[in-house]
């Protein structure tokens, strides 16, 4: 297990906090409402120990927008909403011209667009702070039971240890809560720490 110093951990928290702030600003523009953020919670786990209950996401169905980012380090970034809350956001994005019963027809495309905006805003801010370049895949959206969604996120056997960074996004007036979860392997974490150390040396 890779150990981070208190300074590295504080810097990591701040970098992701700034990235999440950019994501929240982008989401706020899309839905026209204030988006509140929790302080990022950084935890290290063995991949096989991570489940929906551990992440406080058990029960019901989750909509997950997932993108992979690569560069000096690689990570999986996932935006999670309860499915009913995802549909509320889709309705907000599309406006009153779409009936509630028709929302599911637009859910996949709208959530991919939403995830692309939010996740890229977040990772672009992180890349800018660390002075690195990151590439991204196209977003993928899936809906399933919470345990199934989290199980798929943790299914990569090449990543025995993961860093889970959990940030709550709350759309204030609509009582809608989402989550940003970032997964890094041991090797990717080493690359991230190198970028963090370079960042710390410049400030």
Dihedral of the CA atoms 68, 73, 186, 16 (nearest 10)?
A: -80
Closest CA to 181 of 40, 58, 73, 72: 40
**Domains of the chain listed by start with CATH number:** 6-202 (3.40.1550.10)
Angle at 100 between CA 96 and CA 102, to 5 degrees: 100
How confident is the model at residue 158, as a pLDDT? 65
How confident is the model at residue 53, as a pLDDT? 77
Q: Going residue by residue through the chain (203 aa), what tens digit of pLDDT does each one get?
A: 567 788 988 888 888 888 888 888 888 888 788 888 888 888 777 777 877 777 777 778 888 999 999 998 888 888 888 887 777 777 777 765 666 666 677 788 888 888 888 888 888 988 998 999 999 999 999 989 988 988 887 777 766 667 777 777 787 777 777 788 887 777 788 888 898 899 899 87
Query: How far out from the chain centre does Cα 109 lie?
Result: 18
Q: What is the pTM of this model?
A: 0.80
């Amino acid at each position: 297990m890779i150990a981070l110093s208190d300074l590295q951990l504080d810097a990591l928290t701040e970098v992701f906090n700034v990235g999440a702030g950019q994501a929240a600003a982008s989401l706020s523009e899309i839905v026209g409402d204030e988006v509140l953020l929790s302080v990022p919670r950084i935890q290290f786990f063995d991949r096989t120990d991570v489940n929906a209950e551990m992440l406080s996401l058990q029960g019901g169905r989750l909509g997950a927008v997932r993108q992979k980012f690569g560069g000096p380090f690689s990570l999986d970034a996932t935006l999670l909403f309860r499915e009913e809350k995802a549909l509320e956001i889709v309705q907000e994005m599309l406006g009153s011209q779409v009936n509630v019963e028709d929302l599911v027809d637009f859910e996949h495309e709208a959530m991919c667009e939403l995830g692309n905006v939010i996740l890229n805003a977040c990772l672009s801010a992180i890349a800018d702070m660390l002075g690195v370049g990151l590439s991204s895949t196209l977003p993928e959206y899936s809906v399933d039971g919470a345990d199934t969604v989290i199980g798929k996120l943790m299914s990569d056997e090449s990543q025995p240890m993961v860093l889970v960074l959990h940030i709550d996004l709350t759309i204030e007036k609509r009582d809608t809560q989402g989550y940003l979860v970032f997964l890094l392997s041991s090797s990717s974490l080493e690359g991230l720490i190198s970028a963090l150390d370079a960042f710390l040396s410049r400030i």
